[in-house]
Amino acid sequence: MNNPRNKEGKVILIGAGPGDVGLLTLQGKHWLQKAEVILYDHLVNEDLLRFTKNKTEVIYVGKKEGIATLDQEKINSLLIEKAKEGKVVVRLKGGDPFIFGRGGEEIQAVKQSKIPFLVVPGVTSVTGVAAYAGIPLTHRDLSSTLSIITGSNEKKQGDIHIDWEKIASRSGTLVFLMGARKLLLIVEKLMKFGKSPDTPIAVIQWGTTARQKTWKGTLSTIGKKTSKEKISPPALTIIGEVVNLKPEIEWYEHLPLFGKSIVVTRKGDQAEGMIERLGELGAEPVFFPVIETIAPEDWATLDEALNNISRYDGLIFTSVNGVQFFFKRLKEIQQDIRNLKNLRVYTIGPKTAEAVRNLGICVDVVPEDFVAESLIESIGKEKITGQRFLIPRAAVAREVLPKTLREMGAQVDIAPAYQTVLPKPKSDVFLKRLQSGDIDVLTFTSSSTVKNFLELTGKNLLKEIKKTRIACIGPITAETAKNAGLNVDILPKEYTVPALLEAIEDYYKP
């Protein structure tokens, strides 16, 4: 295919890690942000797609339970085809692509087509899952060797092509990947060829995620322990004396929110801090943004205000978005930030105040409670009759603040600085998880997140789900949720994201 952009394409092979988004490497994130096309597998955490550009073409090529979306030759051809169009093509694979990931085969095909490529290693499930399970794969007193073995065989379903006699004779740690369905066969073969029936074994399913579950036993007992459980992929099996160290070293499964899947509905650039903290608490953050902010349909009102900024006495910011778009526009129309020097600056919420202060501008008033009503109370302590205020905000927002200030004798100009729109979800995986009851908590940080979530998912869906809890950042958001027919289970005393996360943690304390 001819390259219409006269630009050389390339293929980037990236290891996505074993599941936890935080285990993606910095280099991997860098290329995801630059990708124009992404081909990803079944075991890749789809939350990684939040690092991509909105226009990135995302193609699922995974294989589940032996059924492939595309066979390997077609995947190779697709990589080559997209690269020849002059695009940056990312091949995203779970774990490390060169450890039973067929990454070598894909790169061979790419190189044969004379297409430039890069390889970004990933945290393999071998080390990542073992660490999150609290099992060191080597230990000075217990194991000085490590063997990594595939537990699957695509060419022959009945058996695995392994020299069992040699494997069974090894004294160190054995790790089997992709062997969930052949666990009993693996155990049987090892004991048949001389491995002690008392050898410790651990099977870890969905390692490094909130769904992580571990079964421990010995080669002779693990079959009984797992017979009632349907251990399905992804699962990793560790065999050796190091398994006995788990009670001393395990940590992940003891974190306060371990096992809880918690949805973050904030927009991308404001969600990272919340996602990181949830991960620190052991939860599985599920990123499902329901708000996207874009420029207003018309800049005229804000431009007119900025060009005549000296007529105002006060500037009121009600959100971080308002701060970002206001100062971006100030720069675009080449106005001097020093023109704001005589204005009193008011903000709602510590994050909004922080965004202003980061620009080197002092904030005069931050109300005790982080809602419009509290700011009105604070401003009411000042003499504002005849004062003129500018509120750069969303095109559609609550009217209580400007309405009340006018009633108090002030002049108020509202200038649309941005508008919120519904984003396009990149996958339906989240909805399937929600419908199946696989989501523990939905967090809402504004009334808009509630309304948009219901718009994106269907207004009656949440009413049918009993397990999922609703957490709202404050009373206004909670009221919106209740008016929509939702039960609000978690409400912090302070209306901030850190307080919201603390309230969720308290809710699940035993």
pTM score, two decimals? 0.81
Tokens of 254: 């003891």
- Residue 160 has a pLDDT of 66
- Residue 400 has a pLDDT of 85
Q: Is residue 1 part of a domain?
A: no
Residues 270-275 have a mean pLDDT of: 89
Higher pLDDT among residues 357 and 377, named by residue: 357
Residue 473 and residue 504 in contact, taking contact as beta carbons nearer than 8 Å: no
Residues 156-162 have a mean pLDDT of: 62
Residues 444-454 have a mean pLDDT of: 91
- Residue 1 has a pLDDT of 45
Q: Is residue 202 part of a domain?
A: yes
Binned at pLDDT 50, 70 and 90, residue 153 comes out as low
- Residue 309 has a pLDDT of 94
Q: Is residue 78 part of a domain?
A: yes
Transcribe 92-150 into DSSP letters. EESB-TTSSS-HHHHHHHHHHTT--EEEE----HHHHHHHHHT--S-BTTTBS-EEEEE
Checking if the pLDDT of 369 tops 70, the result is: no
460-474 pLDDT, tens digit per residue, is: 676 667 789 999 999
Total Cβ atoms within 10 A of residue 396:
10
Binned at pLDDT 50, 70 and 90, residue 95 comes out as very high
Query: Domain count of the chain?
Result: 4
Which residue type, as a one-letter code, is found at position 317?
Answer: F
Quote the CA–CA distance of 50 and 145 in Å, as a whole number: 38
Q: Is residue 86 part of a domain?
A: yes
Q: Are residues 375 and 467 in the same domain?
A: no
**What CATH code is carried by the domain that includes residue 478?**
3.40.50.10090
Residues 67-73 have a mean pLDDT of: 81
Residues 293-311 have a mean pLDDT of: 94
Share of the chain above pLDDT 90, in %: 66
Please report the sign of the dihedral spanned by the C-alpha atoms of residue 489, residue 492, residue 496, residue 497.
Answer: negative
403-429 pLDDT, tens digit per residue, is: 988 988 989 999 999 998 888 766 677
| Among 484, 418, 415, CA closest to 447 | 484
Q: What angle do CA 25, 26, 28 make, to 5 degrees?
A: 65
Residues 451-467 have a mean pLDDT of: 78
**What CATH code is carried by the domain that includes residue 249?**
3.30.950.10
Q: Is residue 408 part of a domain?
A: yes
Q: Are residues 109 and 134 in the same domain?
A: no
Checking if the pLDDT of 245 tops 70, the result is: yes
- Residue 55 has a pLDDT of 87
Lowest mean pLDDT among 2-6, 329-333, 470-474: 2-6
Q: Is residue 5 part of a domain?
A: no
Binned at pLDDT 50, 70 and 90, residue 361 comes out as very high
Higher pLDDT among residues 156 and 335, named by residue: 335
Q: Is residue 3 part of a domain?
A: no
Q: Are residues 83 and 133 in the same domain?
A: no
Higher pLDDT among residues 277 and 349, named by residue: 277
Checking if the pLDDT of 480 tops 90, the result is: yes
- Residue 65 has a pLDDT of 61
Checking if the pLDDT of 5 tops 60, the result is: no
Residues 83-95 have a mean pLDDT of: 96
Share of the chain above pLDDT 70, in %: 94
Lowest mean pLDDT among 28-42, 70-84, 332-346, 419-433: 419-433
Q: Are residues 318 and 364 in the same domain?
A: yes
Q: Residue 80 phi/psi, 5° resolution?
A: -65, -45
Q: Are residues 74 and 86 in the same domain?
A: yes
Q: Are residues 24 and 116 in the same domain?
A: yes
- Residue 438 has a pLDDT of 87
3 state SS of 60: strand
Checking if the pLDDT of 302 tops 60, the result is: yes
DSSP lists the bridge partners of residue 213 as 205
Quote the CA–CA distance of 264 and 262 in Å, as a whole number: 7
Q: Are residues 235 and 278 in the same domain?
A: no
Q: Is residue 75 part of a domain?
A: yes
Higher pLDDT among residues 34 and 436, named by residue: 34
End position of a domain, from candidates 90, 123, 156: 123
Q: Are residues 16 and 117 in the same domain?
A: yes
Q: Which residues are catalytic?
A: 41, 63, 178
Which residue type, as a one-letter code, is found at position 473?
Answer: I
End position of a domain, from candidates 92, 108, 123: 123
3 state SS of 218: strand
103-119 pLDDT, tens digit per residue, is: 999 999 999 999 999 99
- Residue 370 has a pLDDT of 57
Checking if the pLDDT of 63 tops 90, the result is: no
Write down the mean pLDDT value for the chain.
90
Q: In terms of DSSP H, where are the helices of 207-307?
A: 222-226, 246-249, 268-280, 300-307
Residue 119 and residue 107 in contact, taking contact as beta carbons nearer than 8 Å: yes
Q: Which residues contact 376 (CB under 8 A, 6 or more apart)?
A: 400, 401, 404, 405, 408
Q: Are residues 416 and 298 in the same domain?
A: yes
User: 57-60 and 37-40 as β-strands: parallel, antiparallel, unpaired?
Assistant: parallel
Q: Are residues 281 and 316 in the same domain?
A: no
Residues 222-243 have a mean pLDDT of: 89
End position of a domain, from candidates 363, 389, 420: 420
Q: Are residues 248 and 300 in the same domain?
A: no
Q: Are residues 15 and 64 in the same domain?
A: yes
**Owner of token pair 């995974």:** 62
- Residue 158 has a pLDDT of 52
**In terms of residue numbers, what domain contains 81?**
10-123
**What CATH code is carried by the domain that includes residue 102?**
3.40.1010.10
